[in-house]
Every structure is written in structure tokens, then in C-alpha cells.
């Protein structure tokens, strides 16, 4: 009997899972939490991260860093997928908190957001840059240490006229026709992520910049 127990303990010891590799990258989709904001222009970053999570069998159910998040292995890299719960204007709180915890430099943060200067369904990838008037990007730049991070912008369309209220526009819902145009852009954004994480941002821009 003692020998049997020794063998059992040895087997259990060998079967222990190895420690998870540390997170190397953050992929952050911007949006606003809550059902009221589903299918709104401001939430396409959330939609793209949901699409990416589906591709890599990642459950975005862990509440940490003021975000719904989950870890995925993308191109051999440990990646934290994040959907900040802070509301758009405070997205930098979630991003900077995760960066500090995992000691992630700003260059390894990839942000996916909406862009009202692009037509619905267009995508644009950038190595870095200013916020361009986007409050979520503005807060990340302010709290996370600068503009030197890649981003994927998904077009949600321009305001109907210059006097139209901007907040009302970005919090508005897509029409059924617009949703058909948007779906390929969400897919393109998800496909661009592994290229960017692998350092092939030029290829991603050539393939997916509209």
C-alpha cells in the first residue's frame, strides 16, 4: 500500500499543469459597457475583440483591470484581450492598470476603436499617432505614457451634417444595411491582430487599410 501511494503522489505531481506564461501583449477594444450600447458606433472596438476571442476560443468573462478580459495564445504569444468597463472616456484607467501589472511597454498595446472620419466598413491601421479627437484614445495616451502604440480604426461613418450632435451620433445604432457593411471590417480587424503582434504591421496595412 505505501508503495502504491508513493506512485500515486508521483503521478499527480507529474500531472500538475505548468505555470502559465506571462502576458506579453494587450489587445484592447474600446466601447461602453451595458446592453444599451450594444450595436452602437462607439462599440465597434468591443465587437472586434469579441470576434477575435471567438477565433481563439477565449472567454472574456474575467473581471480584472476594470475590464472584462481573457487570455489567448495568438501566434505563440500570450495576449490579454480587454474590454474596459470604465466607459469610453476613462479607458486609459483600465489599460494603464494592466500595463503596470504585467510590465507591458506602450509599444505592446494594440487598441481597436471606432473612427467617424472613415466610412462604415472601412479600416485603417496606424503604428502610432494622436487621438484624432477620440476621447478613449485621448485618455489612453494621457494615462499610459504616450502615443507610441499601434491601433486599428474601424469606420463608423461621418455625421449626417456638421451641426449634428457628436455624442448622439457615436452612441447611435447601426442600421441593418450598415451592419452588413460593418461585418467585413470587424473580421478584417480580427485578422490584422496576429499580423501586428508578429511585427508585420506593413503587411497588415497593405491588406486591410481601405
* Burial of 15: CB neighbours in 10 Å, binned 0-12, 13-18, 19+: exposed
Q: Tens digits of per-residue pLDDT, 161-188?
A: 989 999 999 999 999 999 999 999 999 9
20-208: CATH homologous superfamily? Peptidyl-tRNA hydrolase (3.40.50.1470)
Q: What is the Cα–Cα distance from 119 to 99, expressed in whole angstroms?
A: 32
Q: Tens digits of per-residue pLDDT, 92-128?
A: 999 999 999 999 999 999 999 999 999 999 999 999 9
Report the chain's mean pLDDT, rounded to a whole number: 91
pTM exceeding 0.85: yes
Angle between helices 201-208 and 176-197 (to 10 degrees): 160
The DSSP symbol for 35 reads G
Instruction: Please say if 3 is a catalytic residue.
Output: no
Which residue of the set 3, 42, 134, 173 is catalytic? 42
Residue 58 gets the label, from left (phi > 0), alpha (psi -120 to 50) or beta, of beta
Domain ranges of the chain: 20-208
Cell output for 184: 467585413
Reported as half-sphere exposure (CB side, CA atoms, 13 A), residue 111 has a value of: 35
Any idea which of 11-20, 119-128, 143-152 has the lowest mean pLDDT? 11-20
Does residue 198 carry a pLDDT above 50?
yes
Any idea which of 17-21, 147-151, 155-159 has the lowest mean pLDDT? 17-21
Q: Tens digits of per-residue pLDDT, 38-54?
A: 999 999 999 999 999 99
Q: What is the Cα–Cα distance from 127 to 182, expressed in whole angstroms?
A: 23
Q: Tell me, what's the pLDDT at 12? A: 46
Q: Which of 141, 190, 186, 163 has the alpha carbon at shortest distance from 44?
A: 186
Q: Which of 154, 155, 150 has the alpha carbon at shortest distance from 195?
A: 150
Amino acid at each position: 500500500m505505501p508503495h502504491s501511494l508513493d506512485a500515486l503522489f508521483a503521478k499527480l505531481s507529474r500531472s500538475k499543469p505548468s505555470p502559465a506564461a506571462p502576458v506579453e501583449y494587450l489587445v484592447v477594444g474600446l466601447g461602453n459597457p451595458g446592453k444599451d450600447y450594444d450595436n452602437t458606433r462607439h462599440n465597434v472596438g468591443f465587437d472586434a475583440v469579441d470576434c477575435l476571442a471567438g477565433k481563439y476560443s477565449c472567454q472574456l468573462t474575467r473581471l480584472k483591470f476594470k475590464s472584462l478580459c481573457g487570455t489567448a495564445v495568438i501566434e505563440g504569444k500570450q495576449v490579454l484581450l480587454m474590454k474596459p468597463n470604465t466607459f469610453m472616456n476613462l479607458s486609459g484607467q483600465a489599460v494603464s492598470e494592466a500595463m503596470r501589472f504585467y510590465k507591458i511597454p506602450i509599444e505592446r498595446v494594440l487598441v481597436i476603436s471606432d473612427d467617424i472620419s472613415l466610412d462604415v466598413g472601412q479600416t485603417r491601421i496606424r503604428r502610432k499617432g494622436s487621438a484624432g479627437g477620440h476621447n478613449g484614445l485621448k485618455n489612453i495616451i494621457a494615462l499610459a505614457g504616450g502615443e507610441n502604440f499601434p491601433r486599428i480604426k474601424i469606420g463608423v461613418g461621418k455625421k449626417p451634417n456638421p451641426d449634428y450632435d457628436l455624442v448622439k451620433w457615436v452612441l447611435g445604432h447601426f442600421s441593418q444595411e450598415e451592419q452588413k457593411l460593418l461585418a467585413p471590417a470587424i473580421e478584417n480587424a480580427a485578422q490584422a491582430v496576429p499580423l501586428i503582434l508578429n511585427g508585420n504591421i506593413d503587411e497588415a496595412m497593405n491588406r486591410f487599410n481601405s
